[in-house]
Amino acid sequence: MPELQPASSDILLQAYAGKVRVRVGGLLVRNGMVLLAAHRGLLPKEAPFWSPPGGGWQFGESIQQALVREFREETGLTVEVGRFLHLHEFSTDKLQALELFFEVLADTNAQPQLGHDPEHSAGEQLITELAWQTPRQLLHLPPVQVHPVLRMVLSPDDLFVPQTHFV
């Protein structure tokens, strides 16, 4: 994979800034761990922001199709979309999105591989890493580095309790 270039968050997030977006995300859990993607450009000092794989809903596709596409782009995995779990309003000074999170299932033998976001060049990718994290590991991270739907999760079962988060 090409080396990521240092870039200001303004440049990295330019494609998304000042727009209201609908995003989809998938919660894939195996052996008590959830698959997460580290994003750069959202926090100071290149600190990672951990969230479930996912991305923007595109015109002409269903929400489920968007999630399958985004999961494949980011992780290389082909997933089956399960039940709807969370509705979250994501808002910063530059970004605004309505996020829909679903349970996803994948072949247990398939291993995730860091993918790419086609909207960004090889050196300006937002996703820098994929990792399986336990809820306890997430509790040890600064809360600002963990997506709000994952904060205060004490067990994998907590991920599957439907919730709505508005700012």
- Closest to 128 measured CA to CA, from 137, 139, 120: 120
Would you state the pLDDT for residue 40? 87
pTM of the model: 0.84
Residue 9 has pLDDT above 60, yes or no: no
Phi/psi region, residue 140 (left: phi>0; alpha: psi -120 to 50; beta: rest), is: alpha
Q: What is the pLDDT of residues 12-60, one digit of tens each?
A: 555 555 678 899 999 999 999 999 999 987 788 889 999 999 999 999 9
For the chain, which domains are there?
A: 9-165 (3.90.79.10)
Count of CB atoms situated within 10 Å of the CB of 96? 16
Reported as a pLDDT band with limits 50, 70 and 90, residue 167 is low
Stretch 4-11: mean pLDDT: 48
The C-alpha atoms of residue 33 and residue 141 are separated, in whole angstroms, by 15
pLDDT at 102: 97
As a whole number of angstroms, the distance between CA 74 and CA 72 comes to 6
Rounded to whole angstroms, the Cα distance separating 101 from 54 reads 9
Distance CA 139, CA 143 (A): 8
CB 128 within 8 A of CB 48: yes
State pLDDT tens for residues 93-131.
Answer: 777 889 999 999 999 999 999 998 787 777 777 889 999
Residue 60 confidence (pLDDT)? 97
Q: Which DSSP symbol is given to 66?
A: H
Residue 145 DSSP class: G
Cβ–Cβ under 8 Å, residues 31 and 161: no
In tens, the pLDDT along 125-161 reads 788 999 999 999 999 999 999 999 998 898 989 888 8
Write down the pLDDT at residue 126: 85
Could you give the CA distance from residue 71 to residue 76 in angstroms, rounded to a whole number? 7
With contact defined as beta carbons under 8 Å apart, do 57 and 26 qualify?
no
pLDDT, tens digit, for every residue of 63-101? Answer: 999 999 999 999 999 999 999 999 999 777 777 889 999
Q: What is the pLDDT at residue 97?
A: 86
Nearest C-alpha neighbor of 90 from the set 163, 147, 32: 147
